[in-house]
Amino acid sequence: MNKIDSLFLRKYDVSIKISLKNKKIMKEGIFKMKNLLQKWNSLSLIVRILIGLIIGAILGVAAPKATGLALLGDLFVGALRAVAPILVFVLVIASLANSKSNGAKNMRIVIILYMLTTFIGAVVAVCGSFLFPITLRLGKAATSEAAPPTGVLEVLKNLLMNIVSNPVDSLVKANYIGILAWAVVFGLALKAATPGTKKALHDISAAVTKAVHWIINCAPFGILGLVYNTVSTNGLSIFTDYGKLLALLVGCMLFTVFVTNPIIVFSMLRRNPYPLILKCLKESGLTAFFTRSSAANIPMNMALCEKLGLNEDNYSVSIPLGSTINMDGAAITITVMSLAAAHTMGISVDIPTAIILSVLAAVSACGASGVAGGSLLLIPLACSLFGISNDVAMQVVGVGFIIGVVQDSVETCLNSSSDVLLTATAELYQRRKAGEDIVLIPNK
């Protein structure tokens, strides 16, 4: 063998060894990656979300110009908003078409609880505003181009028109009142369908639910992006400019979460309500806080109801309905902001007027999801009760938009988590009345 052949063989041998070494490194890397993914997936969803939250907050402070990270949050919220209308429409139709039990009584209890807690939220806000009256610095607040409703009748008219909206248009525009109304109509009509049709509906419902679970598993990355965007954009200045107003709003909402709601749950179930409340806050309230959308949080709430062992026939209707009419936080916002406007203008508010305001805020809050700008644009409606001009009222709305990062987050957290809480309370109350032994949080 000559020198050239020998050198060639040596080089070939070395290249084979390098190739084998690279393959070994790649295999080890893939193996480590698989182990890492397995460890990640073995963590509970709430732990993964908390990790994403912490990383997002740190990156928001350390690298505020890495705006690409905010895209993760936008994609997550966009995916939830896209799938939520289809999920509600399909689940309600499938549940009603396949239901064998009469859930009318349970739904009646849920609706009563929704309305009761919304009214109580307004009363809590009135009491808080009387104990800690707030005045506002007006004139520099941001304003909104959207027009507020002119009265309660307009709010009710909008709700009724949403009910009879075109079903396809309702799906496209995520009009949940319209989606619910048409889904109930189709679901009841399909109760007389053949078993094959009902099975097909059930299979479609299962497929949509599976797709939702895939999206929910991306929540840690979505929350990372949302937290990063909030921290990098707003920092901590939002807490200093309107600290007292924020403290009153958040204080009233926390009082509702940890005092009034637990009293209602305990009175109906005769069980310690706090484990269930904390479960709802962790698995529903946390994501709602950052998505700031009750509608986008519907898939998370339905997944939580499934974990709690609730009847799908009930929660598939009550959860989307709750995202529309269960508005404790909105009632608190409307009441606190309108009373702050009254105090700023030097208007004295007596008890009868405060009671009327509570009723007005509760009714208005039920229409908040159908108004552009949500609860904030219903403030002029409440301010009109005190004869406050629309110009001043819109300045108060502007203040609301300034503190909206915090106010809207806490409001949505309260609204969305209580959807699950009250749905569970209504169903467990029915079970308790039937003599069953109830468990608030099943061990799974």
pLDDT of residue 172: 86
Are the C-beta atoms of 433 and 273 separated by less than 8 Å? Answer: no
pLDDT of residue 146: 45
* In a domain? residue 236: yes
Using alpha carbons, select from 413, 399, 226 the residue that is nearest to residue 330. 413
Are the C-beta atoms of 381 and 390 separated by less than 8 Å? Answer: no
* In a domain? residue 314: yes
Please compute the mean of the pLDDT values over residues 211-231 and round it to a whole number.
82
Please compute the mean of the pLDDT values over residues 375-396 and round it to a whole number.
78
Q: What is the mean pLDDT of the chain?
A: 80
**Residues 305, 423: one domain?**
yes
155-187 pLDDT per residue, tens: 567 667 878 889 898 888 877 778 878 888 898
- Furthest-apart CA pair in the chain: how many Å? 110
Distance CA 136, CA 194 (A): 62
Does the structure show a pLDDT above 80 at 354? yes
**Residues 101, 198: one domain?**
yes
Alpha-carbon dihedral sign for residues 308, 312, 313, 315: positive
**Residues 24, 84: one domain?**
no
* In a domain? residue 440: no
Distance CA 384, CA 338 (A): 9
Highest mean pLDDT among 6-10, 166-170, 439-443: 166-170
Residues 6+ apart with CB under 8 A from 435: none
Highest mean pLDDT among 43-57, 143-157, 307-321: 307-321
- Band of residue 372 on the pLDDT scale cut at 50, 70, 90: very low
Are the C-beta atoms of 112 and 321 separated by less than 8 Å? Answer: no
**Residues 412, 304: one domain?**
yes
Which domain covers residue 22, as residue numbers?
3-42
Question: How many other β-carbons are positioned within 10 Å of the β-carbon of residue 291?
Answer: 25
pLDDT of residue 28: 65
pLDDT of residue 5: 56
* In a domain? residue 377: yes
List C-alpha distances in Å: 155 to 117, 151, 159.
20, 7, 6
Using alpha carbons, select from 65, 152, 119, 124 the residue that is nearest to residue 255. 124
pLDDT of residue 225: 86
List the single range of 93-107, 361-375, 425-439 with lowest mean pLDDT.
361-375
Burial 333-356 (b: 16+ CB within 10 A, else e): bbbbbbbbbbbbbeeebeeeebee
Using alpha carbons, select from 45, 55, 39 the residue that is nearest to residue 299. 45
Does the structure show a pLDDT above 60 at 152? no
**Residues 38, 63: one domain?**
no
Distance CA 274, CA 140 (A): 42
78-95 pLDDT per residue, tens: 887 788 788 778 877 887
Burial of 220 (0-12, 13-18, 19+ CB in 10 A): buried
* In a domain? residue 443: no
**Residues 26, 101: one domain?**
no
Domain total in the chain: 2
Does the structure show a pLDDT above 80 at 348? yes
Using alpha carbons, select from 3, 193, 167 the residue that is nearest to residue 88. 167
Distance CA 334, CA 399 (A): 12
Please compute the mean of the pLDDT values over residues 386-395 and round it to a whole number.
78
* In a domain? residue 161: yes
**Residues 288, 408: one domain?**
yes
* In a domain? residue 23: yes
pLDDT of residue 371: 45
Please compute the mean of the pLDDT values over residues 59-74 and round it to a whole number.
84
**Residues 332, 413: one domain?**
yes
Please compute the mean of the pLDDT values over residues 336-364 and round it to a whole number.
85
**Residues 200, 113: one domain?**
yes
* In a domain? residue 129: yes
**Residues 76, 9: one domain?**
no
User: 77 — phi, psi (to 5°)?
Assistant: -65, -40
% pLDDT > 90, the chain: 21
Please identify which residue in the block is written with the tokens 């598939």. Answer: 316
**Residues 105, 182: one domain?**
yes
CATH number, domain at 288? 1.10.3860.10
Question: How many other β-carbons are positioned within 10 Å of the β-carbon of residue 199?
Answer: 13
More confident residue, 157 or 273: 273
List the single range of 95-99, 233-237, 275-279, 351-355 with lowest mean pLDDT.
233-237
**Residues 8, 141: one domain?**
no
Residues 6+ apart with CB under 8 A from 389: none
